[in-house]
Amino acid sequence: MSLPEITLEIPDIPSTVRAVAEAGEMASKFGFEEVEVAKIATATAELAMNIVIHAMGKGRLTIRMVAEGSSRFGLAVIAVDEGPGIGNVDDALEGGRTSSTGLGIGLGAVKRLMDEFSLTTIVGKGTTVTTIKWLRQDGKAAGGDVQTT
């Protein structure tokens, strides 16, 4: 069984718009509620803009459905770049320090918008941010409705 997945290079702002559309489309298709789709899209926009602005467009986003066991499904949005890395992760996650060039959302907000968030970074090498939003466990679209290709 393979779950849907797409990887998009993020060199510029138009590519961030495409990534947001792809994430939103995949999230709706898999049964996320509209508010959850909006949260995923917002987080995707921020992660993509960080690649453009802070990693000089040297990175990509992977959007994929993930499964835990046979009944828990989620949407992962993973940003990988070969930018300068983040020297002070705690500072970056504080949120209050978002720069004027960004969307004004920030990594702290991405963490709050998604259910899972992990950031690994090496100064001089790059940054990887992995996020997941889980589908609700009340059965709706969490099992049989999920299509695999």
Ligand X SMILES: Nc1ncnc2c1ncn2[C@@H]1O[C@H](COP(=O)(O)OP(=O)(O)O)[C@@H](O)[C@H]1O
Name the site residues for Mg ion (rule: CB under 5 A): 50, 102
Nearer to ligand X, 31 or 102 (CB): 102
Closest CA to 133 of 45, 48, 37: 37
Nearer to ligand X, 13 or 67 (CB): 13
Choose from ligand X, Mg ion, none: what does 11 bind? Cβ within 5-8 Å by kind: none
Q: Which residues bind ligand X (CB under 6 A)?
A: 46, 50-51, 54-55, 81, 83-86, 92, 98-99, 102, 106-107, 127
Choose from Mg ion, ligand X, none: what does 55 bind? Cβ within 5-8 Å by kind: ligand X
Asked if residues 44 and 61 have their Cβ atoms less than 8 Å apart, the reply is yes
Asked if residues 42 and 82 have their Cβ atoms less than 8 Å apart, the reply is no
Choose from ligand X, Mg ion, none: what does 19 bind? Cβ within 5-8 Å by kind: none
Cβ of 70: how many Cβ atoms within 10 Å?
Answer: 8
Report in angstroms how near the CB of residue 67 gets to ligand X at its nearest: 27
Report in angstroms how near the CB of residue 57 gets to ligand X at its nearest: 11
State residue 138 phi and psi, 5-degree precision.
-85, 10
**Amino acid type, 6:** I
135/38 Cα distance (integer angstroms):
14
Choose from Mg ion, ligand X, none: what does 86 bind? Cβ within 5-8 Å by kind: ligand X
Choose from ligand X, Mg ion, none: what does 83 bind? Cβ within 5-8 Å by kind: ligand X
Report in angstroms how near the CB of residue 81 gets to ligand X at its nearest: 5
Closest CA to 51 of 22, 111, 8: 8
State residue 51 phi and psi, 5-degree precision.
-65, -45
